[in-house]
Amino acid sequence: MPLEQISRRLRGLGPAVGLVALCLLATFLNSDFATVDNALNVLTRSTFTGIIAVGMCFVIVGGGIDLSVGSMAALIAGCVILLMNSLGAHGVAPGLAVAAGASGAVLIGSLLGFAHGWLITRGRIEPFIVTLGTLGIFRAVLTWLADGGAITLDNDLADAYAPVYYGALLGVPIPIWVFAAVALAAGAVLQRTAYGRHVQAIGSNEQVARYAAVDVDAVKLCSYVVLGAMVGVATLLYVPRLGSASPTTGLLWELEAIAAVIIGGTALKGGSGSIAGTVVGALLLSVIGNVLNLTSFISIHLNAAVQGAVIIAVAFMQRKNKR
Amino acid sequence: MQTLAFHAIDKSFGPVPVLHKVSFELAAGSAVGLLGENGAGKSTLMKILAGYEVPSGGELRLDGAAVRFAGPRAAEAAGIAMIHQEFALAEALTIAQNIYLGHELKRRGGWLDDDAMRAATAQLLQQVGLACSPDLPVRALSLAEKQRVEIAKALQRRAHVLVMDEPTATLTPTEAEKLFELIAQLKADGVTLIYISHKLEEIERLTDEIIVMRDGRFVNRAPTASLSRAQMASLMVGRELSDLFPPKTPRPSAESLLRVQRLSVPGWAEDVSFNVAPGEILGFAGLVGAGRTELFEGLVGLRESRAERIEIAGHAVNIKSPREAANLGLTYLSEDRKGKGLHLDFGLAQNLTLMMLPRWLRPAEEEAALARAVEDFGIRAASLGARAGSLSGGNQQKLALAKVLHPAPRIVVLDEPTRGVDVGAKRELYGLIQRLAAQGLAVIVVSSELMELIGLCHRIAVLRAGRLQTVVEADSATEELLIAHATGTN
């Protein structure tokens, strides 16, 4: 039915419409909002949880969840800083050490994701439980490695690494390019490959997928590896920003990433979802923080409260759209 | 004692009408058999009676007064109870707690009166012939015992109209015999009984009168004694059986395509051997719980299984997953269309192609495949962009069939391929299955409808308690013979 399809399309556009409306409102309230500098700033800030949200989208569409991504980012950050410092101390050139650290981040993330996927598929443990456990484990290990303080990147390494976050290509900061590339690739995989279709099939009804000869365990496991790799990518962009990892690194990122996915129109029970929506969700959350910073109507301390209200409002609208 | 009347009952689920102006009246204390094929509307009508569904039109009358039940509790209060195929018992609670669930006896101050409930339950259990403690958790009971608890529950509610939907489907012959004794006793006590079963000999034995439904309509009623089983069967189907099934192709003489030697599925099937030739339709009969579904789930790697040897086209194979089975040209259509067969919230094309997708999707090809399947299988949908869940049962089943045939298998296992579809769709499905065989596929049909197996297959294998009893030529098979093998009473 064309009417049904049109209404489905429109529903998909809801978050984007909200984002545009919010931007217009912000422009009206504060002339500093609609500047190139501010736009790039907002976009760059959104890349960390945005990239993680893209990976989270696969996991959630596939009917899973990962609560550990914030802790995982902290642990990866700590590990790669230690790795780079140790390489630097052994006389490896800073550029090379940074390259090793950056690829190490993706590798460690993938391995941790694999561990999640393995426990969930082979161990037959609920993803909520597995990742609730690792949420604690990852952050505790980082705290222990940092001895309760911070792990800091050595100065010469920090200088060599800085361009990855602060550098720009054609006037656009590197993290934004990476976010865009990741989102485009992920969108293509989710919508245009057998793998993406299988993820949706499993999230929609795992039994039906199993009976349709889909290798459910492999597809699920892979979605956690993808998410782990995305956490690695987010972390490798984040490390040069502050050059250190502490027990508060990546705190509550899991909630922001999950919120971005949900705001983007993906149902928490899985089955269908969109990368574009997820990107919009991540931007929306980031813009909310920015607007609160630039205006004085609502205290910035209430940022999380506003985000929370948006999440509930979006869920409410999705509920009304169901029969 | 009350007379019970259905007056012009209509019922639609969304746009799909399932009951059309059903009217009939039952005298108090009568025992009627409600006959009809799957999808004839019997269960829906009974759910309306028991308060689970609200009619879209018409009304129920008790002693001439219209009644409208807001829910099962209201129906219970009016003395109507239904014993379901699946029991509505809370497994973790005790028998007494289950029987009084929602009707708990209370002492002053609102505290539960467990002593009174236990004592009354003990008495009810004695009445239904169940010799166990009211404190036993329901989880510990066998299916037959749970059924008795359900009946005891109905008695506690002082039900004088009792609906039983396929009560013997999961019982052994001895358990069924005990149930019949209990039913006779209930009849003697004046309970009005509505009995649904596809086992015609039970209908003959237990009921005074039969009422036949077909395609959601009341068709006929007659004293049970005045009809033979064959007459009952053709009343249900509404035409001679020969009209329903396309003419069979002769049984092919080719080499077997699939040879299975001593296949076992732990807990379900033991040492089952059979083979199927290209162009042949092999049926599998058996009671519910005989292990037919599990046997084939084991064969295609959905369950753990072991076999002495499995050959496809002369090559020994070792199938560990449905993926491997599909790659070898063997696919399986599940009996559970909604839970295992189709993604109801997906589009038609996404359902159709799921078993065999290229690494990079090609939407245009998927659309083309759907257009072909719609043509080939006669799938009727409001639009090609519709969701699978919006199709009628028969069209969903055709889509599910098209889906397992999409990978172009050489061998296909169809488990209850016509479950819950109307007679018209059944006929079409039989034609499609016959055509598959004519195209040279080896087809295995698992079915609980014996007439279907006899009308469709070349040979019929009978499974009982996980073991292969016999394989008979369909031309020489009768329902009685198959039931005898399936129940071990031959």
The residue from B239, B266, B283 where one domain ends is: B239
Residue in chain A lying closest to B364 (CA): A192
pLDDT computed for residue A269 by the predictor = 86
> Looking at the structure, do residues B257 and B233 belong to the same domain, yes or no?
no
Please give the span between the terminal C-alpha atoms of chain B, in angstroms, as a whole number.
Answer: 42
Chain-chain contact of A212 with B382 (C-beta, under 8 angstroms): no
Q: B276 by DSSP, 3-state: which?
A: strand
Domain match, B81 and B148 both: yes
Residue B113, pLDDT > 80, answer: yes
Fold exhibited by the domain A41-321: ABC transporter involved in vitamin B12 uptake, BtuC (1.10.3470)
Helix/strand/coil for B407: coil
Cα A190 versus chain centre, distance: 16
Is the same domain home to B256 and B304? yes
CB contact under 8 A, B322 and A1: no
Q: Which residue's entry shows tokens 């101390």?
A: A89
Three-state secondary structure string covering chain A: CHHHHHHHHHHHHHHHHHHHHHHHHHHHHCCCCCCHHHHHHHHHHHHHHHHHHHHHHHHHHCCCCCCCHHHHHHHHHHHHHHHHHHHHHCCCCHHHHHHHHHHHHHHHHHHHHHHHHHHHHCCCCCHHHHHHHHHHHHHHHHHHHCCCCCEECCHHHHHHHCHHHHCEECCEEHHHHHHHHHHHHHHHHHHHEHHHHHHHHHHHCHHHHHHCCCCHHHHHHHHHHHHHHHHHHHHHHHHHHHCEECCCCCCCHHHHHHHHHHHCCCCCCCCCCCHHHHHHHHHHHHHHHHHHHHCCCCCHHHHHHHHHHHHHHHHHHHHHHCC
The reported pLDDT for the residue numbered A322 is 45
- B281 lies in the same domain as B391: yes
Instruction: Give the DSSP letter of residue B422.
Output: -
Q: What is the mean pLDDT of chain B?
A: 88
User: What integer pLDDT is reported at residue A256 of this predicted model?
Assistant: 92
Q: Which residue of B has its CA nearest to A4?
A: B386
Using a CB-CB distance cutoff of 8 angstroms, which residues of chain B are in contact with residue A1?
Answer: 382-383, 385-386
Rank A95-99, B64-68, B198-202 by mean pLDDT and report only the highest.
Answer: A95-99
* Cβ within 8 Å, pair A201-B354: yes
Residue B42's contacts (CB-CB under 8 Å, 6 or more residues apart) are B34, B35, B36, B165, B196, B213
The residues of B whose Cβ lies within 8 A of any Cβ of A are 302, 321-323, 325-326, 331-332, 334, 339-346, 350, 354-355, 357-361, 382-383, 385-386, 403, 407
With CA atoms as reference, report the closest residue to B432 among B462, B399, B454, B410.
B399
Give all strands of the β-sheet with B411-415 in edge-to-edge order: B330-333, B411-415, B442-446, B281-285, B459-464, B467-473
Residue B340 with chain A: CB contacts under 8 Å: 207-208, 210-211
Strand partners, A172: A169
Beta strands across the sheet bearing B306-312 = B269-276, B258-265, B306-312, B315-316
- In the block, residue with structure tokens 């819950």: B420
**Token pair for B61:** 């009358």
Q: Does position B424 have pLDDT exceeding 80, yes or no?
A: no
Q: Is B316 helix (H, G, I), strand (E, B) or coil?
A: strand
Q: Identify the sign of the CA torsion A185, A188, A194, A199.
A: positive
Backbone torsion region of residue B149, taken as left when φ is above 0, otherwise alpha when ψ lies between -120 and 50, otherwise beta: alpha
ipTM score of the complex?
Answer: 0.84
| Partners of residue B326 in chain A, C-beta under 8 Å | 213
- Do B144 and B290 sit in the same domain of this protein? no
> What confidence tens digit (pLDDT) does each residue in B295-320 have?
999 999 999 999 999 999 999 999 99
Tell me how many degrees the CA angle B397-B400-B405 measures, rounded to the nearest 5.
130
At B3 the pLDDT is 84
Most confidently modeled range among A78-82, B81-85, B163-167, B388-392: A78-82
- Angle in degrees, 0-180, between the axes of helices A36-61 and A69-89, rounded to the nearest 10: 110
Distance CA A299, CA A39 (A): 21
Please, are residues B157 and B80 in contact by the beta-carbon 8 Å criterion? no
| Chosen domain end from B223, B239, B255 | B239
Nearest to B105 by CA among B95, B117, B97: B117
Inter-chain contacts counted by CB atoms under 8 A, chains A and B: 71
Instruction: Quote the pLDDT of residue A181.
Output: 96
Enter the DSSP assignment of B334.
-
Tens-digit pLDDT string for chain A (323 aa)? 455 556 656 666 777 888 888 888 888 888 888 888 888 989 999 999 999 999 999 999 999 999 999 999 999 999 999 999 999 899 889 999 999 999 999 999 999 999 999 999 999 999 999 999 999 999 999 999 999 889 999 988 999 999 999 988 998 999 999 999 999 999 999 999 999 999 999 999 999 999 999 999 999 999 999 999 999 999 999 999 989 999 999 998 999 999 999 988 888 888 888 999 999 999 999 998 888 888 877 888 888 888 888 888 887 877 654 44
Label residue B244 by pLDDT band (50, 70, 90): confident
**Chain B contact for A272 (CB, 8 A cutoff):** yes
For A101, A154, A167, B279, the CA distances from A160, given in Å and listed in that order, are 12, 10, 11, 71
Q: How far is B326 from chain A (nearest CA, A)?
A: 7
Q: What is the pLDDT of residue B240?
A: 60
The count of domains in chain B is: 2
What is the pLDDT at residue B470?
Answer: 92
| Per-residue burial over B270-279, b = 16 or more CB atoms within 10 Å of its CB, e = otherwise | bebebbbbbb
CA atoms within 13 A on the CB side of B192: 19
CA–CA distance, B347 with B296 (Å, rounded to integer): 28
Could you tell me if B218 and B348 lie in one domain? no
- Which residues does residue B360 pair with via DSSP β-bridges, in sequence order? A193
Do residues B121 and B51 both lie within one domain? yes
- If asked whether residues B232 and B339 sit together in one domain, one would say no
N- to C-terminal Cα separation, chain A: 16
Residue A227 near residue A59, CB atoms below 8 Å: yes
CATH code, domain with B63: 3.40.50.300
Question: Shortest CA distance to A314 belongs to which of A15, A10, A12, A6?
Answer: A15
Residue after which a domain boundary falls, among B239, B261, B277? B239
| 3 state DSSP class of B420 | coil
**Where in the sequence is the domain holding B138, given as residue range(s)?**
4-239
Question: In sequence order, what are the residues at sequence separation of 6 or more whose Cβ sits closer than 8 angstroms to the Cβ of residue A163?
Answer: A174, A240
Check if A1 contacts B (Cβ < 8 Å).
yes
Residue B359: pLDDT over 50: yes
- Whether B216 and B364 map to the same domain: the answer is no
Residue ranges per structural domain of chain A? 41-321
Other beta carbons within 10 angstroms of residue B174's beta carbon come to: 9
Tell me what pLDDT residue A227 has.
97
How does DSSP assign B81-144, residue by residue?
A: EEE-SS----TTSBHHHHHTTTS--B-GGG-B-HHHHHHHHHHHHHHTT--S-TTSBGGGS-HH
Cβ neighbors of A189 (< 8 A, separation 6 or more) are A195, A196
- What are the tens digits of pLDDT across the range B139-191? 888 878 888 898 888 888 888 899 998 888 777 777 888 889 888 888 888 88
